[in-house]
Amino acid sequence: MPFKTLDDMDLDGKVVLTRVDINVPVEDGRVTDTTRIDRIVPTISDLRAKGAKVVLLAHFGRPKGQVVPEMSLRQVVPALSDALGVEVGFADGKYGDAVGSMKDRDVLLFENVRFNPGEEKDDIDFARRLAAIGDVYCNDAFSAAHRAHATTHALAKLLPACAGRSMAAELTALEAALGTPKPPVAAVVGGAKVSSKLDLLGNLVTKVQHLIIGGGMANTFLAANGVDVAKSLCEHDLLDTAREIVAKAEAAGCAILLPRDVVVAEEFRADPPTQVVKAENVPAGHMILDAGPDSVGHIKTVLDGCATLVWNGPLGAFEMTPFDAATVAAARHAATLTKAGKLISVAGGGDTVSALNHAGVADDFTYISTAGGAFLEWMEGKELPGVAALSE
């Protein structure tokens, strides 16, 4: 996956159109979580250090090609300026004039690109108008790379293009996890439903040696094996599909790990009466809400023998105690192996990031992707238009 980075470009005095993701939560006109802003600081700082004029292109919400005042990026400027330690300019029109008055190392944010109907249509004319006021294109928004939009795809074909620091780190980590990984490779896939991750499971069984299935989707695989899962969340209409995935895994030499024992309760709430039972012995009227200690021990043993781990989704209903136990224990073990230099661990997806933060190990994994859809589509083996455009 060849792509250029900031280090491959002559940026001194150049106008660098930089696609970023600062689609951050805002309440009463104030940014409440700066995580996505913090992620782009290294790229903008390096661009400024190299003498560039930095023009930021970003979306906010889904205005569907209309000007929606509540979705203006103007409200993000104060948080952006604070994070960068420099005053950030804002342009909501006459972009050519605004760029023309920039000095080297200035930072200018354009208004929400999705206010223009050409953005989501990947309109080449909109991209050309932007390209006419820039010298170099830099994409630092992996989380938007799965969308073929004008500022993630068409624009990259019109100017010398490179990846920003966050994008480059993401692509390098993903390549290490599934592109050309060090085997053996394990994947943890959890979540509520098999139906939402069919493409993901189908791709992973051809790429990894161990597929660890948890969460509600494990119940569907258990049921496909003839297990009575009682009141557990289960997609009974997908049992044949689950069997097909198992058969594909067997043909590819991929071992699927399902829970050996489970934590069950009669109701889904925090701290109800629970039991640990073998997976095939779920009592009537009960539901599976987490993997049991024997299952966790099995997962730890598998991870001990692996060199690479990719993780998407929790092993149980981790939002409520005590059903976070399996996810926390497995995540902490993976983190320990990673810190010891024995495991390359890459994780991503909204629930996954929350679960690893909950376990207190988010900083100990090799890489954690904050991209939702883009990370999932990459795990599914799909080409991401924003990435493909950079490598062409």
The distance from CA 99 to its chain's CA centroid, rounded to whole angstroms, is 32
59 assigned binding-site residue: yes
350 catalytic? Reply is: yes
165 assigned binding-site residue: no
19 assigned binding-site residue: no
Rounded CA-CA distance 190/233 in Å is 13
Q: Are 152 and 137 in contact (CB under 8 A)?
A: no
Q: Which one of the listed residues 105, 128, 129, 193 is annotated catalytic?
A: 193
Most distant CA pair in the chain: distance in Å? 72
The distance from CA 115 to its chain's CA centroid, rounded to whole angstroms, is 25
Rounded CA-CA distance 292/265 in Å is 13
What's the N-to-C CA distance of the chain in angstroms? 10
Q: Are 54 and 138 in contact (CB under 8 A)?
A: no
318 assigned binding-site residue: no
352 assigned binding-site residue: yes
23 assigned binding-site residue: yes
62 assigned binding-site residue: yes
Question: What's the chain's Rg over C-alpha atoms?
Answer: 23
351 assigned binding-site residue: yes
Q: Which one of the listed residues 65, 89, 372, 373 is annotated catalytic?
A: 373
Helix segments in the chain, DSSP class H: 35-49, 77-84, 95-100, 124-131, 165-174, 198-204, 215-224, 239-252, 293-304, 325-339, 350-359, 373-379, 385-391
373 catalytic? Reply is: yes
36 catalytic? Reply is: yes
Q: Which one of the listed residues 36, 39, 53, 207 is annotated catalytic?
A: 36
Rounded CA-CA distance 51/380 in Å is 39
350 assigned binding-site residue: yes
Rounded CA-CA distance 8/81 in Å is 27
Cross-strand partners of 186: 210, 309
Classify 377 as helix, strand or coil.
helix
Rounded CA-CA distance 226/196 in Å is 22
60 assigned binding-site residue: yes
Q: Are 177 and 154 in contact (CB under 8 A)?
A: no
305 catalytic? Reply is: no
Question: What is 37-102 written as a DSSP string?
Answer: HHHHHHHHHHHHHTT-EEEEE---S--TTS--GGG-GGGGHHHHHHHHTSPEEEESS-HHHHHHTP
- What stretch of H or E contains 277? strand 275-278
Q: Which one of the listed residues 350, 372, 381, 382 is annotated catalytic?
A: 350
Q: Can you read off the two tokens belonging to residue 359? A: 């376990």
316 assigned binding-site residue: no
Rounded CA-CA distance 42/22 in Å is 14
Binding residues for (2R)-3-phosphoglycerate: 36, 114, 147
Instruction: List residues forming the annotated binding site for ATP.
Output: 197, 319, 349-352
Catalytic residue IDs: 36, 193, 350, 373
Residues forming the annotated binding site for substrate?
21-23, 36, 59-62, 114, 147
* Residue list, annotated binding site: 21-23, 36, 59-62, 114, 147, 197, 319, 349-352
